[in-house]
């Protein structure tokens, strides 16, 4: 397969080196385009007001890997690769292996997930890999799982273009329970801004939040859905695979909002008229 790999931890991160070298050794054609420094938690930001530079890297990866270090964000890297550096589209866009989990609502901030989502925006199925630990350096099991998953996808392609957000416990493969298809959980943080003063006497703030317990989403009936969340499954040492999409439309909210607008139109004298779904013709 032809694979494009990015990340948000930067070109010198052990995670991307483990992923790229493992897949190149398995016979895949691997190209790496990633930030020249750590760009974690940058979300889907793009560089608009200054040039983006890309430099070939010759000695960091396996000789079979073509690699560029880019001055832009994780999303810039994938966009630049697809639009300027590659001569043809890859079969998959991969991102990672991130040093730390990307679970639940973390995906809204994650540069790792955003880089993979850039591939989906271009019609290419993508995989985001994260090692669910900030302290462990054991990236090999996650890289081995990536190799196995790609072999499966070669035989049994995904039914549609999507992003698979994958979190791997910091364990040896034989200690990992199994692989679980999960839904996105909800994680909230207790944010603390530490107020500090620099050597010139100017005040600055440093974000130092702590993650709270996952807040479980309920179904309309009040019971949790049968499919576990990624946060629940990773606690039980499962590899979590969560399908994501870029369309953030709140599907059930459409019906609720339609009912609400009907009430406003009926009972509020000065309310602007809301068009009904049956009247919309675009």
User: What is the torsional sign of CA 271, 272, 274, 275?
Assistant: positive
What is the per-residue pLDDT for 49? 92
pLDDT of res. 223: 44
12, with CB counted inside 10 A (0-12, 13-18, 19+), is: middle
Q: Strands, E, within 77-160: which ranges?
A: 92-99, 126-131
Closest to 128 in 3D by CA, of 84, 187, 78: 78
Cis omega (within 30 of 0) for bond into 97: yes
Least confident of 121-135, 219-233, 236-250: 219-233
Task: State the greatest distance between any 2 C-alpha atoms of the chain, in Å, as a whole number.
Answer: 72
User: Which range among 5-9, 104-108, 139-143 shows the weakest confidence by mean pLDDT?
Assistant: 104-108
Is residue 129 helix, strand or coil?
strand
Quote the CA–CA distance of 213 and 109 in Å, as a whole number: 18
Phi-psi region of 41 (alpha: psi -120 to 50; beta: other; left: phi over 0): left
Cα distance between residue 252 and residue 271, in whole Å:
24
| Range scoring the smallest mean pLDDT among 118-122, 129-133, 152-156, 206-210 | 206-210
109-118, 194-203, 211-220, 235-244: segment of lowest average pLDDT: 211-220
pLDDT in the model for residue 40: 87
Instruction: State what percent of residues in the chain have pLDDT above 70.
Output: 86
Provide DSSP, 32-98: EEEESS--TT-TT----SS---EEE--SSS-TT-EEEEESS-HHHHHHHIIIII-SS--SEEEEEEE
pLDDT of 216 strictly over 70: no
For the residues 73-102, what does the mean pLDDT come to?
96
For the chain, the average pLDDT equals 88
Task: Judge contact between 213 and 162, C-beta under 8 A.
Answer: no
pLDDT higher than threshold 70 for residue 108: yes
Average pLDDT over residues 171-191: 85
pLDDT, greater one: 278 or 62: 62
Using pLDDT thresholds of 50, 70 and 90, give the confidence band for residue 222: very low
**Residue of 146, 106, 150 lying closest to 244 (CA atoms):** 106
Q: Which residues pair with 239 in a beta bridge?
A: 179
pLDDT score for 182? 94
Q: Where in the chain is the domain with CATH 3.40.1210.10?
A: 2-183+235-244
| DSSP assignment of 218-247 | --TTSS--SSPBHHHHHHTTPEEEEEE-S-
Architecture of domain 2-183+235-244: 3-Layer(aba) Sandwich (3.40)
pLDDT of residue 269: 63
Over the stretch 242-260, which tens digit does the pLDDT of each residue have?
999 998 888 888 888 877 7
Query: 169 with 234: CB under 8 angstroms?
Result: yes
Residue 215 has pLDDT above 90, yes or no: no
From 25-39, 68-82, 157-171, 201-215, the region with the lowest mean pLDDT:
201-215
């Amino acid at each position: 397969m032809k694979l494009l790999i990015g990340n948000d931890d930067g070109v010198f991160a052990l995670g991307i080196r483990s992923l790229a070298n493992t897949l190149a050794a398995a016979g895949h054609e691997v190209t790496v385009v990633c930030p020249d420094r750590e760009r974690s938690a940058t979300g889907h930001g793009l560089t608009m007001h200054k040039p983006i530079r890309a430099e070939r890297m010759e000695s960091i990866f396996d000789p079979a890997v073509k690699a560029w270090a880019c001055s832009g964000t994780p999303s810039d890297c994938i966009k630049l690769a697809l639009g300027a550096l590659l001569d043809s589209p890859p079969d998959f866009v991969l991102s990672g292996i991130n040093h730390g989990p990307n679970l639940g609502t973390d995906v809204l901030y994650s540069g790792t997930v955003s880089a993979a989502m850039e591939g989906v925006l271009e019609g290419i199925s993508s995989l985001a890999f994260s090692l669910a630990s900030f302290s462990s350096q054991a990236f090999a099991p996650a890289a081995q799982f990536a190799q196995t998953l790609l072999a499966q996808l070669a035989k049994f392609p995904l039914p549609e273009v999507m992003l698979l957000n994958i979190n791997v416990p910091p364990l040896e493969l034989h200690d990992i329970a199994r692989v679980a298809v999960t839904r996105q959980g909800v994680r909230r943080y207790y944010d603390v801004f530490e107020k500090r003063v620099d050597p010139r006497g100017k005040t600055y703030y440093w974000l130092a939040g702590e993650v709270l317990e996952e807040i479980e989403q309920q179904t309309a009936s009040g019971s949790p859905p049968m499919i576990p969340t990624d946060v629940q499954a990773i606690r039980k040492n499962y590899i979590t695979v969560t399908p994501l999409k870029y369309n953030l439309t709140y599907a059930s909210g459409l019906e609720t909002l339609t009912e609400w607008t009907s009430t406003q139109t009926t009972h509020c004298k000065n309310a602007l008229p809301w068009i009904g779904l049956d009247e919309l013709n675009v």
